[in-house]
Amino acid sequence: MGLLKHRGPDWSGLYQHGDFYLSHQRLAIIDPASGDQPLFNEDQAIVVTVNGEIYNHAELRKSLPNHKFRTGSDCDVIAHLYEEHGENFVNMLDGMFSFVLLDTRDNSFIVARDAIGITSLYIGWGLDGSIWISSELKGLHDDCEHFECFPPGHLYSSKNGGLRRWYNPLWFSEAIPSTPYDPLALRRAFEKAVIKRLMTDVPFGVLLSGGLDSSLVASVTARHLAGTEAARQWGAQLHSFCVGLENSPDLKAAREVADYLGTVHHEFHFTVQDGIDAIEDVIYHVETYDVTTIRASTPMFLMARKIKALGVKMVISGEGADEIFGGYLYFHKAPNKEEFHSETCRKIKALHQYDCLRANKSTSAWGLEARVPFLDKDFINIAMAIDPEWKMIKLGEGRMEKWVLRRAFDDEENPYLPKHILYRQKEQFSDGVGYSWIDGLKAHAALQVNDKMMQNAKHIFRHNTPTTKEAYYYRRIFERFFPQNSATLTVPGGPSVACSTAKAVEWDAAWSNNLDPSGRAASGVHLSGYEQQAVLASAGVVPPEILVNLPRMMNVAAPGVAIQS
């Protein structure tokens, strides 16, 4: 239990029944007074421990009129739903969750993980025949002969000893959808996804990088906060949080969005050395050696610590939009809508190994919960049903990446965001916090790893052999904490290069020699802010007058525009 105490510092619970042990570290968000776990049904024959949030718990309680609930916790419905519906209730849950449920009547148990894998979960097996379940690797690796990632959208049943998929939406088959694009339907679905995540009994805020995704989360949250129970408890003014190196792109953009929305903005600065000093802790907590994940996790890890120190226990974040709408810059090269859609499906299915892993573990390291409205089940269903022809990137027609999302919130009468923020091109999170961050990491790794190490890397690390000194440096730290082969296999295969995925290379062979996963490496695609706005202005997407003001806001020179300090 102590190994996972950071995830839930508010309460420790332990239940034992024969050879079964259920332990829980609680981070109290809903009903802090009485929602301690494990949770039970009326006669305590069914026991459950849960990590996550069930957003539709109030509706589910109403569907169980003959049941008596012991607590006000959102997770209290799970034991009662099982009692009523058996193993087939999981699809009724709307939320993010991982849980273990024990039925003491026949000593059977089930394990389930949410649809996309927002919450982390692992399963392991001991030589003595035991089965272990844990939110993190560190809870398993000393006791299990073999362990692996518990797949998202799946349920394990001890009755048949195997896994089965409970989440199987239409988009999962990757069949090409044909629903016409309806910007208002998309907007309403996202607003609904954000609003349901305002369910809280503790102080909360939003992560705000100044990019499109987090800015939309903040905008919708700010609009709907007033008049809610949370507003009455914690104050109607929303708190926002951003992290970056001094004068980084994200800090500047986030500050402007915060001023526009009227949030109480908290700006956290870190230095390259601060980040380097935290790398070992980040790898221990995030449990990966993937380069892009570690680069992005480190600033988030540092920020989460400071957010928790302010007394905040929950934040709303913007992960998932790039996967759903094809926001990564190599999507510019997608040859047709079929390829585009297939790649978005693949990216969503892999989220639990990348952005979800980062968001969950970087925040949970400090007892902070991150909620992600873009990964709402209903919102994904609507967004992935859109004919992907609408998602295709066609700059000549004013359709940049994630255009369908931007257009849905382009409200002239009641603007959600300033135009240049709404149409700001994507930055990798690790780039946006400051370009010297990645350069500093590479320089530090070069001091730790010499050429001879790289020459022999294939003999030391036979699986996922690192191809850069930075990757070697992270891998060496990871294997010191998690030396088992099972741990190595939980990290995605192949070189950790976002722009060198098989699909990206297939679309543009010029990227095959690119060994750096930074968004800057997408040569010829990542335009300067001025160039991007110029293209959009010429297509009539943004007003021309923005071109005069943009260089001043970005603090860069533009053709024909002089900047006076």
DSSP 404-469: HHHHHT--SSS-SS-HHHHTPPP--HHHHT-HHHHHHHHHHHHHHS-HHHHHTHHHH--SS---SH
63 is in an annotated binding site: no
Chosen CATH of 174-432 out of 3.40.190.10, 3.40.50.620, 3.30.60.50, 2.60.200.30: 3.40.50.620
CA distance linking residue 229 with residue 20, whole number of Å: 39
Residue 206 pairs in a beta bridge with 240, 316
317 is in an annotated binding site: yes
Query: Along the 565 residues of the chain, how does pLDDT read in single tens digits?
Result: 689 999 998 889 999 999 999 999 989 888 887 778 999 999 999 999 999 999 999 999 999 999 999 899 999 999 999 999 999 999 999 999 999 999 999 999 999 999 999 999 999 999 999 999 999 999 998 899 999 999 999 999 999 989 999 999 999 999 999 999 999 999 999 999 999 999 999 999 999 999 999 999 999 999 998 655 555 555 668 999 999 999 898 999 999 999 999 999 999 999 999 999 999 999 999 999 999 999 999 999 999 999 999 999 999 999 999 999 999 989 999 999 999 999 999 999 999 999 999 999 999 999 999 999 999 999 999 999 999 999 999 988 989 999 999 999 999 999 999 999 999 887 665 567 877 999 999 999 999 999 999 999 999 999 999 999 999 999 999 999 999 999 999 999 754 444 445 787 789 877 666 656 555 555 456 554 445 555 566 656 666 555 544 443 333 333 333 222 2
CA distance linking residue 270 with residue 160, whole number of Å: 50
Q: Give me the helix-helix angle, 546-554 and 249-261, nearest 10°.
A: 120
Q: Architecture of domain 2-168 in CATH?
A: 4-Layer Sandwich (3.60)
Pairing type for strands 95-103 and 20-26 reads unpaired
272 is in an annotated binding site: no
Domain boundaries, the chain: 2-168, 174-432
512 is in an annotated binding site: no
Residues in the chain: 565
Residue 367 pairs in a beta bridge with none
74 is in an annotated binding site: yes
